[in-house]
Amino acid sequence: MEGQTQTFDWDVVIIGAGPVGGHTANLLAQRGQRVLLIEEHNEIGRPFQCAGLVTPNAMKQVGLYDTILEEIDGALIHGPSGTLVPVGTGGTIRTYVVCRKLFDEAVVKQSMISGATLWLNSKPTDAVVNQDYVSLRINKNGKDIELTTKLLIGCDGAHSWTRRYFKMGRPKELMIGFQTEVVGYQFRKRWLEMYSGSEIAPGFFAWVIPSGNDSCRIGLWSTAERLDGKSIEECYHNLLNHPLWKERFADIKETARYCGPVPSGMVRKAYKNRVLLIGDAAGMAKPTTGGGIGPGFEQINGIVDKLSVAIMENKLSEENLKSIARTHFEKMRKDQSRARSLRNLLVSDCEDTELDRHFEQFARPEVISLINEVGDIEKPVPLGMALLRRVPAFRKLALKAGMKLIFS
Ligand SMILES: Cc1cc2nc3c(=O)[nH]c(=O)nc-3n(C[C@H](O)[C@H](O)[C@H](O)COP(=O)(O)OP(=O)(O)OC[C@H]3O[C@@H](n4cnc5c(N)ncnc54)[C@H](O)[C@@H]3O)c2cc1C
């Protein structure tokens, strides 16, 4: 019976030992829960599909400053025809670049120090939700193991098995990200660069991010609809051969390349009876930057205290989980949705000519001051709203924005 004392193998089983699974395991183990973390690979942090940007706020929560490769003070943002918008202030850290392998390993290690158990080379093959518990079949090193848990949490990334198995919907958008690691790019120390234009990253942007010593990560992201038949590699080559910027890329030497999905737009219901989705599995990446580590941390942080009490009392029905998670999740979904609307309005739904006009406005000294004053990589909506309200040239977009934001 719900609420009665019974014993199960685990209080919580978390599928996926990425950064969000690791952090979720840590927070729950710190609160006394018996946590099992399941990872399908035989090591943590591989394959690597990330630019490695971690915001100061997300970093503060895990304190893994020794995984930082570079500190970043700002971004040099290029419009389709070359208008430059420098955002940030030298000496004021806006974000960090980490080694994702070290970062993921360290987050998972924190959970183990707090008491969580990690199984590598393991993945779920079956799950049945009962009245008081979930029974799971886990394939570990090729052998099936049956076990029981009070709660199952899917932190298993963009293509989440948990989400698909329990038919929990789909993230609103699925972006495709492509990235290379290179040496030989002449970058400005402590600054990242962003490039835009329909031939390079339709609706989105490309980036060059210093990643320690002489190396940089060059990447871009877009959606299948916006690519409209073009391959993402083609866009990458368009960036490297762009008449305005090709000199900068002339001497680069590629050392690695990866491609991966970025799910953004929280699934309709990230909880069901005894099942919860956190992180990329729930579609938490930001629509404006693609960053998913910070939002995944925020998603679990906002509910972990109440969740832990509910686990202790074994009160984990859909209704219970809804009362714990709904307000926090709905707020995050709404923020994502508003950020997406503003992104579409100011960047993604614009032809290059219109985007160039927007960049001419962004590049005005008073607008750069406004961006520096209000801009926050974690909270893009206030900046978008300030641009619409305070930059005369954007006022005609404000009415359109008002409608979109009301209905988003
Ligand atoms: C090109 C690119 C650049 C990016 N840059 C950034 C960035 O700079 N900053 C940022 O914050 N985000 C970035 N992201 C997004 C970021 O990588 C994700 O949001 C983040 O990794 C999400 O963490 P997660 O723990 O939810 O999922 P993941 O990191 O995907 O971890 C999921 C884990 O679950 C495991 N798993 C999956 N299925 C199973 C299964 N069935 N059984 C067992 N284990 C399973 C996987 O092996 C993996 O270890 C980028 C993404 C891409 C594609």
Task: Assess if residue 287 is contained within a domain.
Answer: yes
Give pLDDT, residue 378.
Answer: 64
Locate 137 and state its tokens.
């079949």
Tell me, yes or no, whether 190 lies in a domain: yes
* pTM over the 0.85 mark: yes
Residue 328 lies in a domain: no
Same domain, 108 and 21: yes
Are residues 182 and 149 both part of a single domain? no
Cβ partners under 8 Å of residue 268, min gap 6:
168, 169
Residue 136 Cβ contacting ligand 1 at under 6 Å:
no
Let me know whether 226 and 357 are in one domain.
Answer: no
Confirm whether 329 is domain-assigned: no
Domain, as residue range, for 310:
10-47+100-171+265-316
Ligand 1 center to 280 CA (angstroms)? 6
Q: Is residue 312 part of a domain?
A: yes
One domain for residues 188 and 216? yes
Instruction: Please tell me whether residues 81 and 179 are part of one structural domain.
Output: yes
More confident residue, 295 or 47: 295
Q: Is the pLDDT assigned to residue 60 strictly greater than 50?
A: yes
**Of the residues 263, 280, 308, the one at which a domain ends:** 263
| CB 69 within 8 Å of CB 192 | no
- Evaluate if residue 48 carries a pLDDT over 80: no
Band (87; pLDDT cuts 50, 70, 90): confident
**Domain holding 61: CATH number?**
3.30.9.10
Ligand 1: which residue has its CA nearest to atom 37? 156
Q: Per the domain annotation, does 220 fall within a domain?
A: yes
Structure confidence by residue, pLDDT tens digits, 129-165: 999 999 999 999 999 999 999 999 999 999 999 999 9
Give the pLDDT confidence score for residue 400 in this predicted structure: 65
Q: Does the Cβ of 161 fall within 6 Å of ligand 1?
A: yes
Q: How confident is the model at residue 408 (pLDDT cuts 50, 70, 90)?
A: very low
**Ligand 1 centroid distance, CA of 262 (Å):** 8
- 160-189: pLDDT as tens digits: 999 999 999 999 999 999 999 999 998 899
Cβ of 156 less than 6 Å from ligand 1: yes
Q: What percent of the chain has pLDDT over 90?
A: 78
Is residue 327 in some structural domain? no
Question: How remote is the CA of residue 121 from the centroid of ligand 1, in Å?
Answer: 17
Q: Which of 162, 280, 297 to mutate to test the pocket of ligand 1 (most atoms within 8 A of CB)?
A: 280
Ligand 1 center from residue 40 Cα (angstroms)? 13
Categorize the per-residue pLDDT at 406 as very low, low, confident or very high, splitting at 50, 70 and 90: very low
Could you give the number of structural domains in the chain?
A: 3
Average of per-residue pLDDT values in the chain: 92
Q: Does ligand 1 have an atom closer than 6 angstroms to the CB of 41?
A: yes
Ligand 1 neighbour 201 (Cβ under 6 A):
no
Please list, in sequence order, all residues whose beta carbon lies within 8 angstroms of the beta carbon of residue 116, skipping any fewer than 6 positions away. Answer: 25, 26, 28, 29, 35, 36, 37
Integer CA distances (angstroms), 402 to 335, 341, 345, 397, 399, in order: 15, 10, 11, 9, 5
Give the residue from 285, 321, 334, 278 showing the smallest Cα distance to 301. 278
CB 39 within 8 A of CB 120: yes
Q: How is residue 284 annotated by DSSP? A: B
210-224 as b/e, with b when 16 or more CB fall inside 10 Å? bbeeebbbbbbbbbe
Cα separation of 319 and 274, whole Å? 10
Q: What is the CATH number of the domain that holds 152?
A: 3.50.50.60
CA atoms 304, 308, 309, 314: torsion sign: positive
What spacing in Å lies between the alpha carbon of 244 and ligand 1's midpoint?
Answer: 33
CA of 356: how far to CAs of 75, 223, 362, 375, in Å? 18, 21, 10, 20
Does residue 239 sit in helix, strand or coil? helix
Using the predicted structure, report yes or no on whether residue 407 has a pLDDT greater than 60: no
Ligand 1, closest atom to CA 47?
A: 47
**CA–CA distance, 239 with 64 (Å, rounded to integer):** 33
Edge-to-edge, what's the strand order for the sheet holding 206-210? 84-88, 74-78, 191-195, 206-210, 215-223, 173-183, 253-264
- Residue 6: per-residue pLDDT: 67
In a shared domain, residues 369 and 253: no
Q: Judge whether 3 lies within some domain.
A: no
Same domain assignment for residues 138 and 254: no
Asked whether residue 223 carries a pLDDT value surpassing 50, the answer given is yes
- In this structure, the residue with its CA closest to atom 45 of ligand 1 is 16
What pLDDT does residue 371 have? 80
The verdict on 293 and 401 lying in the same domain is: no
> For residue 50, how far is its CA from the centre of ligand 1 (angstroms)?
8
Q: What is the pLDDT of residue 141?
A: 97
Report the pLDDT averaged over residues 367-387: 75
Same domain, 272 and 289: yes
Do 26 and 131 reside in the same domain of the chain?
Answer: yes
What is the CA(261)–ligand 1 centre distance, in A? 9
Residue nearest atom 11 in ligand 1 by C-alpha distance = 291
For residue 64, pLDDT over 60 is answered with: yes
Cβ neighbours around 255 below 10 Å, total: 11
Evaluate: CB of 210 within 6 angstroms of ligand 1. Answer: no
182 and 250 fall within a common domain: yes
Same domain, 76 and 217: yes
pLDDT, position 65: 98
